[in-house]
């Protein structure tokens, strides 16, 4: 039954829809249970990317604001879950990674525009469906919207005095997380950003393969848990992790708790706006590299490039194919033509 084309299903297996002034229309339900194949995922990702890039600015900004808020909710959930975990380091990171997955689940299932996931729009660009101006416009709008959404959750979480939970240990953990991030050397933050968004875009890629909500959630769970547990760096998550610590650094008891918990001296001077951007710049560049090269262009090259030649028309205009298609051998004439 499930192998039949859904268009052949009777009306009993369809949903009745009717617009204003229209007759009833029976829209078949998609009763397939198998995931989309990788080649179909690539086609769907390309179409989704083109649609996102052409979206009007206000809609894009609103959806980006939601995505920043969703990721920030996942980040604060992560902080609460791990702050006094009785497990060892590895298991604590594993549980925290699962908690953080909430953010991307909300982005994908509820619908929002996340900068790191939108690096996959490069597939539509490489295929010639959008211009580089469309691509950069989307990235810029979404990045700003994500930042604003994350900052809104920072202010709300601070207003709740969540940092005082468990005798201030939640706030101490928030400070310790941010202090670690702002002190990464440039290339450490860059490389962690690359690996982070390779996994995040793979999570988005796998979610596109799913037909139902459960498929998408399960597909995203392991890549997101892996990047968090591995200590990789996500630019939008850091738009929550670091600013919340900037609001808490003035509380001496929390700084003292953080120093004891981390067995290190917390230097509040590094928790600054300069420290925030010292982290965001390399992490953002790494996120772009990881999403664009490791996933977006890799799968475009495998599944969407023109057959017979390595053509990069949108990336390098005017550059001829690196590998030209083989020419068919000339048709030989008949015996009389050869003798004449």
Domain span at residue 131 reads 38-304
Structural domain contains residue 198 = yes
Q: Same structural domain for residues 15 and 46? A: no
Structural domain contains residue 313 = no
Read off the pLDDT of each residue in 180-194 and give the average, rounded to a whole number: 97
Residue 180 has pLDDT above 70, yes or no: yes
Q: What is the pTM assigned to this prediction?
A: 0.83
Structural domain contains residue 248 = yes
Beta strand spans in the chain (E): 14-17, 25-28
Q: Same structural domain for residues 15 and 62? A: no
Q: Same structural domain for residues 226 and 289? A: yes
**How far, in Å, CA of 193 to CA of 151, rounded?**
20
**How far, in Å, CA of 272 to CA of 10, rounded?**
63
Q: Same structural domain for residues 175 and 249? A: yes
Q: According to the model, what pLDDT value does residue 35 have?
A: 84
Structural domains counted in the chain = 2
Q: Same structural domain for residues 279 and 190? A: yes
User: In this predicted model, what pLDDT tens digit does every residue of 210-258 receive, in sequence order?
Assistant: 999 999 999 999 999 999 999 999 999 999 999 999 999 989 899 889 8
Q: According to the model, what pLDDT value does residue 306 have?
A: 77
DSSP 250: T
Read off the pLDDT of each residue in 90-117 and give the average, rounded to a whole number: 97
Q: Same structural domain for residues 186 and 243? A: yes
Q: Same structural domain for residues 106 and 161? A: yes
**How far, in Å, CA of 87 to CA of 75, rounded?**
19
User: In this predicted model, what pLDDT tens digit does every residue of 52-78 receive, in sequence order?
Assistant: 999 999 999 999 999 999 999 999 999
CA 107 to chain centre: 9
Q: According to the model, what pLDDT value does residue 217 have?
A: 96
Structural domain contains residue 321 = no
Lowest model confidence (mean pLDDT) among 25-39, 92-106, 176-190, 305-319? 305-319
Q: Same structural domain for residues 197 and 123? A: yes
Q: Same structural domain for residues 96 and 221? A: yes
Concatenated DSSP letters for 290-340? Answer: IIIIIIIHHHIIIIISPTTS---TTTSTTPPPSSPPPPPPPPPP-HHHHH-
Read off the pLDDT of each residue in 163-188 and give the average, rounded to a whole number: 96
Q: Same structural domain for residues 46 and 22? A: no
Structural domain contains residue 331 = no
Q: Same structural domain for residues 290 and 212? A: yes
Give percent above pLDDT 90 in the chain. Answer: 73
Structural domain contains residue 334 = no
Q: Is residue 166 within 8 Å of 84, Cβ to Cβ?
A: yes
Q: Same structural domain for residues 9 and 151? A: no
Left if phi > 0, otherwise alpha if psi is -120 to 50, otherwise beta: which for 20? beta
**How far, in Å, CA of 337 to CA of 339, rounded?**
6
User: In this predicted model, what pLDDT tens digit does every residue of 107-157 receive, in sequence order?
Assistant: 999 999 999 999 999 999 999 999 999 999 999 999 999 999 999 999 999
Structural domain contains residue 197 = yes
């Amino acid at each position: 039954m499930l192998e039949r084309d859904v268009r052949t299903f009777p009306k009993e297996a369809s949903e009745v829809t009717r617009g204003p002034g229209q007759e009833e229309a029976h829209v078949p339900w998609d009763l397939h249970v198998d995931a989309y194949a990788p080649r179909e995922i690539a086609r769907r990702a390309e179409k989704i990317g083109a649609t996102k890039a052409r979206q009007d600015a206000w809609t894009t900004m609103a959806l980006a604001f939601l995505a920043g808020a969703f990721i920030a909710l996942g980040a604060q959930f992560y902080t609460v879950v791990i702050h006094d975990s009785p497990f060892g380091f590895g298991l604590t990171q594993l549980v925290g990674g699962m908690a953080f997955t909430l953010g991307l689940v909300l982005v994908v299932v509820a619908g929002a525009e996340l900068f790191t996931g939108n690096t996959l729009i490069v597939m539509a660009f490489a295929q010639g469906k959008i211009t580089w101006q469309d691509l950069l416009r989307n990235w810029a709008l979404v990045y700003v919207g994500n930042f604003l959404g994350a900052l809104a959750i920072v202010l709300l979480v601070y207003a709740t005095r969540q940092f005082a939970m468990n005798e201030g240990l939640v706030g101490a953990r928030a400070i310790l997380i941010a202090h670690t991030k702002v002190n990464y050397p440039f290339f450490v933050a860059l490389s962690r950003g690359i690996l982070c968004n390779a996994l995040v875009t793979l999570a988005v890629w796998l979610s596109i393969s799913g037909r139902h909500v459960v498929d998408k959630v399960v597909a995203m769970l392991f890549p997101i848990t892996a990047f968090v547990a591995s200590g990789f760096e996500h630019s939008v998550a850091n738009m929550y992790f670091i600013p919340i610590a900037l609001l808490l650094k003035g509380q001496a008891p929390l700084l003292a708790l953080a120093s004891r918990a981390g067995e290190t001296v917390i230097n509040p001077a590094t928790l600054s706006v300069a420290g925030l951007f010292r982290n965001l710049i390399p992490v953002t560049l790494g996120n772009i590299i990881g999403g664009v090269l490791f996933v977006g262009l890799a799968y475009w090259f495998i599944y969407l490039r023109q057959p017979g030649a390595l053509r990069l028309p949108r990336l390098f205009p005017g550059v001829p194919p690196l590998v030209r298609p083989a020419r068919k051998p000339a048709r030989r004439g008949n015996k009389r033509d050869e003798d004449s």
